[in-house]
Structure 1
Amino acid sequence: MSSSPSPRDPVADLRRIAFLLERSLQSSYKVKAFRGASTAIAVLPAGRLEEAVARNELTALKGVGDSTAKVITASLRGEEPEYLARLEREVGGPLVEGGDTLRAALRGDLHCHSDWSDGGSPIEDMAVTALELGHEYTALTDHSPRLTVARGLTAERLRRQLDVVARLNEQLAPFRLLTGIEVDILDDGSLDQEEDLLAELDVVVASVHSKLQMEPAAMTRRMVAAVSNPHVDILGHCTGRYVTTNTRTGKPRAESRFDAEKVFSACVEHGVAVEINSRPERLDPPRRLLRQAVEAGCIFSVDTDAHAPGQLDWQPYGCARGEECGVTADRVVSAWALDDLLAWTADHTSRPA
């Protein structure tokens, strides 16, 4: 006598769909629909979801629409939802060829955003997804206050965020969500946050977000001044370019111009890592500059700059480019054990034994 298939987990199926949509940079509207439905049904009393399916009333539940209702129904029947199966076929495979050795060496990601600034998901969702991907640690680096378009964090909001991170770490140990910031490099090379507060953080990523096309000599002075600040650990997306359409402006963006030899020499002198930004719209630095940074003796951090949970899976893009340009795991700080990483962020001289 045959038995009916065991039910799947509709919450997990909805989350997986959202993850794959984010991973492939598809519509944020679709992502919100599937993540919203997963959150809505996760808190329902036992049996309420099955009851709604039996009565054909799924779409009457808050947060559930036609597409998400089809996924839920299939999951409860023990079937792989058609929407999920299609996404797994189309975008669920490897993102890029190469970079496997470096990717296997990585232990964490030192640049991601939450809905406290311009990310699309709560801090907990970002942390849990990083844990599910096998990370030992991830740095939460929301924007600093001057970047108002990204809802940058004032000192007061950042201090509140530190309390949230501390509570979350109690729940997720031994995984560690590192405190951090992506701090704006201002026109004169100073940093857009209180120095005392920067000193409290585990990881500081410094990036240029304004006046990206300023005169090269001035941009060079600006970047050198920033990486000379003892609180800066990582120089983020150094050219600021967009190789594909910028989702906010609808246009690609040219590289900033600066004296790369001087900037990378300053990074070496002050023990600051050059970020290999894995966002497919950025892929920054360009290969020629990445090779130059390798030759200069720089250390690196392979980061996703994720603004959604599914984007935390973008590290293969950076790893492939890094391996192609001669980056080895011993020079990648996000491949170091947590204690070694934190010893380095504390003084920029410590290295793994």
Structure 2
Amino acid sequence: MRSLEPLQAPVDPVEALRRVGFLLERSRQHSRRVEAFRGAAQVLRGLDEGEVAQRVKAGTITDLTGIGKSTAGVIEQAVRGELPDYLATQQDEHGGPLVEGSEAYTEAIIGDCHLHSDWSDGGSPIEEMVLTAVELGHEWMVLTDHSPRLRIANGLTAQRLAQQLELLERINASLGDAITVLSGIEVDILDDGALDQTPEMLGRLDLVTASVHSKLKMAKGPMTRRMVAAVSNPRVNVLGHCTGRLVTGGRGTRPQSDFDARAVFEACAEHDVAVEINSRPERCDPPDELIELALDIGCLFAVDSDAHAPGQLEMKAYGAERAERLGVPLERIVTTWEVERLVEWVGSEDQR
């Protein structure tokens, strides 16, 4: 994974708007600001060739629904061949490396086992997530929208997941060698350790990330049994944000769940399930001491973005820094593997 090079004039108006949206997401700005720029880019995509320049010349660009003062300013300067001032400011303030000193680990991470689209609680279409991943140098990514019980996140029923799989086939057919988009899910771990999706649908997916999202204050014994049961399921490949903690951010803080981490990580090692290093700053999950425990036990790891927007895909740099600092070998991080090796590792249910 690489950082995006700053845009220089001249720049296409759509690309200027997309990059502003990316930088706003990357710096965790309010979603309404992001939506304004991404929405404006979508409006321009729907116009006939030459109409943008004609409207800028006539002063009617803001007559279009979805184009406001700030977005119009970016469009007008881009059409005139200038680098828009708003874009230049965002690049100066938010375009540098997210983390200093972990370039080797960051560049080695070429995949992502945990990200979301607007099919569940993400903010952008699958196509925009894919395009940004290509720009960042991803070689593969796994789309893992939520499962049905997580209604607040618009989790996918079996029927909607089947529809998404059909769309992914069409997207992959159009991509050539640019990137491989694998099918997946972030499946909710139910109270008894069962998985919140039908076995038939789970069997159709390339990779399954399983996470606890409910009853995070469950007593230690039941929570341990719940998590061990989940990672023992042959269909699970990655254990997502295992403690459920929140350490900062707009949702406030939340303590980590109480479970026997050694028992859970030993089950992960036994069943060849990777422990996720969730890169979102508000999660920073697992904490350092649990990563060290999983490392000692012999677990694999997945440095994932848990991105809900294109500008969050690069947040894997935070997880890469932690992995390097804690001494996790690159060969034990599945998101550094070539896609062929990843697919072989996942294997079939009969092989696991």
Q: TM-score range by the shorter chain?
A: over 0.9
CA deviation map 1:182-221 (0-9, x unaligned)? 0000000010000121111011000000000110111111
Aligned-partner residue type, residue 204 of structure 2:
E
**Alpha-carbon shift at residue 96 of structure 1 (Å):** 1.5
Which residue of structure 2 lines up, in the alignment, with residue 94 of structure 1? 97
Give 1:137-156 correspondences, 5 Å limit: 137-156=140-159
Q: Provide the TM-score with structure 2 as the length reference.
A: 0.95
Contact 2:9–2:83 (CA under 8 A) maintained in structure 1: no
1:30 maps to 2:45: no
Would the alpha carbon gap of residues 193 and 138 (structure 1) be closer, same or farther in structure 2, given more than 3 Å must change?
same
Q: Percent identity?
A: 56
Give 1:1-353 correspondences, 5 Å limit: 7-174=10-177, 175-245=179-249, 247=250, 250-347=251-348
Structure 2 counterpart SS, 1:50:
helix
Ranges of 4+ aligned residues in structure 1 off by more than 4 Å? 347-350
Aligned-partner residue type, residue 119 of structure 1:
G
Aligned-partner residue type, residue 98 of structure 2:
L
Return 5+ residue gaps in structure 1 as ranges.
none
Structure 2 counterpart SS, 1:283:
coil
Q: Provide the TM-score with structure 1 as the length reference.
A: 0.95
**Alpha-carbon shift at residue 43 of structure 1 (Å):** 2.3
Return 5+ residue gaps in structure 2 as ranges.
1-7
Contact 1:8–1:77 (CA under 8 A) maintained in structure 2: no
Aligned-partner residue type, residue 240 of structure 1:
G
Which residue of structure 1 lines up, in the alignment, with residue 4 of structure 2? none
Aligned equivalents of 2:45 and 2:295: distance in 1?
Answer: 47
Aligned equivalents of 1:56 and 1:229: distance in 2?
Answer: 60
Would the alpha carbon gap of residues 132 and 7 (structure 1) be closer, same or farther in structure 2, given more than 3 Å must change?
closer
Contact 2:243–2:257 (CA under 8 A) maintained in structure 1: yes
Contact 1:271–1:349 (CA under 8 A) maintained in structure 2: no
Contact 1:302–1:315 (CA under 8 A) maintained in structure 2: yes
Structure 2 counterpart SS, 1:168:
helix
**Alpha-carbon shift at residue 346 of structure 1 (Å):** 1.1
Q: How many residues align?
A: 343
Aligned equivalents of 1:316 and 1:347: distance in 2?
Answer: 31
CA deviation map 1:148-205 (0-9, x unaligned)? 0000000010000000000000011221110000000000001000012111101100
Would the alpha carbon gap of residues 160 and 349 (structure 1) be closer, same or farther in structure 2, given more than 3 Å must change?
closer
C-alpha RMSD over aligned residues = 1.5
Contact 2:275–2:301 (CA under 8 A) maintained in structure 1: yes
